[in-house]
Amino acid sequence: MKKVLFFLLSLAFSITISAQDEQSTPKMVDEVIAVVGSKIILHSDIENQYIQYRMQGSIRGSAQETKCAILEGLLYSKLLINQAEVDSVVVGDKQVDTEVDRRVRYFIQQIGSKEKLEDYYKKPLFQIKEDLKEIIADQMRVEMVQNNITKTVTITPSEVRAFYKAQPSDSIPMINTEYVIGQIVKKPKVSLAQEIEVKEKLRALRRRVLDGESFNTMAILYSEDPGSAAKGGEVGLYGRGELYPEFEAVAFKLKEGEISDIVQSKAGFHIIQLIERRGEYVNTRHILITPKVSPDELAKSATMLDSIYNLIQDGSITYDDAVLKFSDDPGKNNGGLLINQATGTIRFSHDQLDPKALYVVDKLEAGKISKPIPYKSDEGQDAYRILYLKEKTKPHRANLREDYDKIQTWAQEHKKDKVIDTWVNERINNTYIRIQDEFKSCTFKLGWSK
């Protein structure tokens, strides 16, 4: 039920902010379908989600069965939101803003660009964020209520085994091949001469703009930011915490139209112009130039890694010692292990790996290393690395020997869901709940029709 809640809430957001302006959506006369404490559920809440389900091909069973399932998810969420108000559960504005920014970055990544997101919702980015805030705040309050209900829930090894044995064999999920990978990185040094050359180029461009030439034109011609150069260097409207810290610190201090001195960030060197500021959001344009690594320095990195590869291969040094001694990777203290940003773990499925890395590690045996290969760092810098395949699993049905941690998580979540369901059924009896006759025939999993 917990997973249903968050899916429905996130889905409600996508519908809420798009349906408000979607001309193709038929208008309907709204009415209250259900009341939970001080919270109401509207006919449009159910119909909009049903339309979205239908568009996604997610409908199973009849239309009424689907609408009943949607209603139960909404009843559940409203009950917990109502309880959050009863318990005076509050979340800070900063927490909400941080989560809103994270969600929006994810949406932009999925849809392709900020402009595409704005076009899809027919709203500027700052308005999309404003629409998100209340939804996110409710989600966070609901999660706090859930965590409070389940904070004492623990799971023992015997319960994990019992949970696993209770699953029908054909319902035990398949675990695809997973990789645990480490790396030894050598980043070539950018010469002082190259940095000076880049700064001089930016100073010259800044002088030309101050003398009257168009910043937009200069950005189109000279900026090396592929995301903004074609748009005259315009970055778009972003809030605090969404840009490089050094870039942001300068941008928020500029006056409209003002051009900054040279600013250095992980991406390179910038000059920035403030287009406008709206409260805690700024719209800027910039010219970015990144110092180039010389072929000689790049070759030195490859040669050094080749020597390290040979030392590991002949047993003169272990991979673990080589990581600590030679790697330029910030994660070298953790064995250089790559972190899966999608899961926060060190395990990757094949579709979560960079294709070039997958091509290399898929040919390695566990415990072996690759020869040095070129790659681009997170900052877009050319570098070389050795990849180490620490572990590779074969596709298999989840089992206690290989996948105990996953099964333990599933078992604990199942136990938490049961505790929450028990709490909900008890709370239903002490909360004013009214459901319209149209939905009283629904077969609910919990006792909403009391």
- Residue 166, in any domain of the structure: no
Task: Answer for the pair 77, 145: CB distance below 8 angstroms, yes or no.
Answer: no
Q: In this structure, are 31 and 74 located in the same domain?
A: yes
CA distances from 299 to 186, 188, 330, 373 (A): 11, 8, 22, 11
pLDDT in tens, 230-267: 889 998 878 787 788 999 999 999 999 999 999 999 88
Domain-ending residue, one of 289, 320, 336: 289
Q: In this structure, are 96 and 206 located in the same domain?
A: no
Task: Answer for the pair 421, 446: CB distance below 8 angstroms, yes or no.
Answer: yes
Which range marks the domain in which residue 319 is found? 178-188+294-394
Helix then strand then coil, in percent of the chain rounded to 5, is 50, 15, 35
- Residue 162, in any domain of the structure: no
Q: In this structure, are 238 and 299 located in the same domain?
A: no
Residue 200's CB is within 10 A of a number of other CB atoms, namely 11
d(CA 70, CA 42): 12
Reported as a pLDDT band with limits 50, 70 and 90, residue 226 is: confident
3-class secondary structure, 37: coil
Reported as a pLDDT band with limits 50, 70 and 90, residue 281 is: confident
Q: Is the dihedral of CA 86, 92, 95, 98 positive or negative?
A: positive
Q: What is the CATH number of the domain that holds 24?
A: 1.10.4030.10
- What is the structure's pLDDT at 29? 56
- What is the structure's pLDDT at 450? 65
Nearest to 299 by CA among 216, 188, 180: 188
Residue 184's CB is within 10 A of a number of other CB atoms, namely 27
**Cα angle for residues 303, 307, 312 (degrees, 5° grid):** 145
d(CA 415, CA 91): 26
Q: In this structure, are 135 and 271 located in the same domain?
A: no
d(CA 177, CA 191): 42
Beta-carbon contacts of 133 under 8 Å, excluding residues fewer than 6 positions away, are: 96, 97, 100
From the DSSP assignment, how many helices (H) and strands (E) are in the chain?
14, 13
Q: In this structure, are 328 and 183 located in the same domain?
A: yes
Q: What is the CATH number of the domain that holds 306?
A: 3.10.50.40
Q: Is the pLDDT of residue 197 over 50?
A: yes
- Residue 12, in any domain of the structure: yes
- Residue 336, in any domain of the structure: yes
pLDDT in tens, 10-19: 444 443 444 3
3-class secondary structure, 41: strand
Nearest to 411 by CA among 393, 396, 424, 398: 398
CA distances from 38 to 68, 69, 103, 204, 425 (A): 21, 21, 28, 63, 18
Nearest to 165 by CA among 2, 363, 407: 407
- Residue 173, in any domain of the structure: no
Q: In this structure, are 205 and 142 located in the same domain?
A: no
Beta-carbon contacts of 108 under 8 Å, excluding residues fewer than 6 positions away, are: 114, 116, 117
Token digits of residue 277: 């500021």
Structural domain total, the chain: 3
Reported as a pLDDT band with limits 50, 70 and 90, residue 212 is: very high
Q: In this structure, are 283 and 302 located in the same domain?
A: no
d(CA 35, CA 79): 10
pLDDT in tens, 389-410: 999 999 999 999 988 988 999 9
Q: In this structure, are 12 and 99 located in the same domain?
A: yes
- What is the structure's pLDDT at 418? 94
Kindly report whether the global pTM for this prediction surpasses the value 0.75.
no
